[in-house]
Amino acid sequence: MIQDPVCPALEVRGLTRRYGSRTVVEDLSIRVEAGDLHGFLGPNGAGKTTTLRCILGLIHVDAGEISIFGETDPVARRRTVGAVVETPRFHEWMSGRANLEESAAYLGREADVDDALHRVGLQDRAGDLVKAYSHGMRQRLGLARALLGRPRLLLLDEPTGGLDPRGMREVRDLLRLLVRQDGLTVFLSSHLLAEVEALCNRVSILDRGRLVAQEDVSVLLERQVTDEVVEVGAEDCGRLRQALADLPGVEITGTGEAGRTLVALHQMTPAELNRSLLAAGVAVSALVPKGPRLEDLYLESVRSEDRS
């Protein structure tokens, strides 16, 4: 599918939404380029779902403009969008296929139910009643419904919520495939930092209804200036921690993978740390540099917002 090279897939300008005297989203501006897998990150209650509902025209906005591939009319812009907002609901007494066929009829335009089922890996269970579906299968059926009519933009609200690790991986792999092979653009709302970091190429961070950061994930991570962090493992953990505590410019910050000790280096390199530990008689079994994380950036962004 060829996207418009000029118009962004989604552009939100100055969006504000209030409920009575409470402002839920305030002067929010987001730009999502065609072909992006764009994360919309923030804690529960930050205003993410409200923003998605405004974009879809499900609730009115108090101020601001929204365009999808250059289209500003609320009815016309929905024709290029597929969405899963909150938990997808279906007729339990009907099969997965029958649910999609009913949804396709409501669309009022051509929709390939078999293709949608195939793309989410449900073709072999399409005849089963939805009441027999697992949570992961319901999530995939929701994605299949969103794909009816071949949308150009997918809006997804916590698409891996409630899934086990295997189900989460399946959904993430599917989204990558849809972007790579079908040319879709995905705008994915989540409160899971690791998910956004692993899946998305760009992120917008929302806190209490206000945008606090928006950038390529790689650029944001590169921009972080932090002390170098390493994970250190040793056969004798007690002796390791004692040696670390005696070293100047070394701070124990927690426990990493496989029980290794997380250490922030303020005044030495990992190589110098290794030499110092060996000199102290510590048999080092692992020394793993750790790069900056999106979690650090997020927490710093929220702290900055608190100070403003």
How confident is residue 98, by pLDDT bands cut at 50, 70 and 90?
very high
Name, of 12-16, 106-110, 223-227, the range with top average pLDDT. 12-16
pLDDT over 80 at 289, yes or no = no
Q: Could you read off the pLDDT of 102-159 as tens digits, one per residue? A: 998 887 666 789 989 988 889 999 999 999 998 888 888 999 999 998 899 999 998 8
How confident is residue 23, by pLDDT bands cut at 50, 70 and 90?
very high
The token pair at 121 is: 């890996």
Q: What is residue 225's predicted lDDT score, i.e. its pLDDT?
A: 45
pLDDT over 90 at 93, yes or no = yes
Cut 0.85: pTM above it:
no
Q: State how beta strands 250-255 and 261-265 pair.
A: antiparallel
The token pair at 102 is: 């009913």
Average pLDDT over residues 230-253: 86
Q: Could you read off the pLDDT of 69-81 as tens digits, one per residue? A: 999 988 888 889 9
Name, of 85-89, 95-99, 188-192, 252-256, the range with top average pLDDT. 95-99
Q: What is residue 169's predicted lDDT score, i.e. its pLDDT?
A: 83
The token pair at 270 is: 């990992």
Q: Could you read off the pLDDT of 32-57 as tens digits, one per residue? A: 999 999 999 888 888 999 999 999 99
| Percent of the chain predicted with pLDDT > 90 | 36
Cα separation, 264 vs 230, in Å, equals 7
pLDDT over 70 at 29, yes or no = yes
Mean pLDDT of the chain: 84
- Cα distances (angstroms) measured from residue 271 to each of 231, 232, 259, 277: 13, 12, 21, 10
The token pair at 271 is: 């190589």
Higher-pLDDT residue of 162, 237: 237
Q: Could you read off the pLDDT of 166-213 as tens digits, one per residue? A: 778 888 888 998 899 888 999 999 887 777 878 899 999 898 899 988
Cβ partners under 8 Å of residue 69, min gap 6: 3, 4, 7, 8, 9, 34, 77, 80, 152, 153
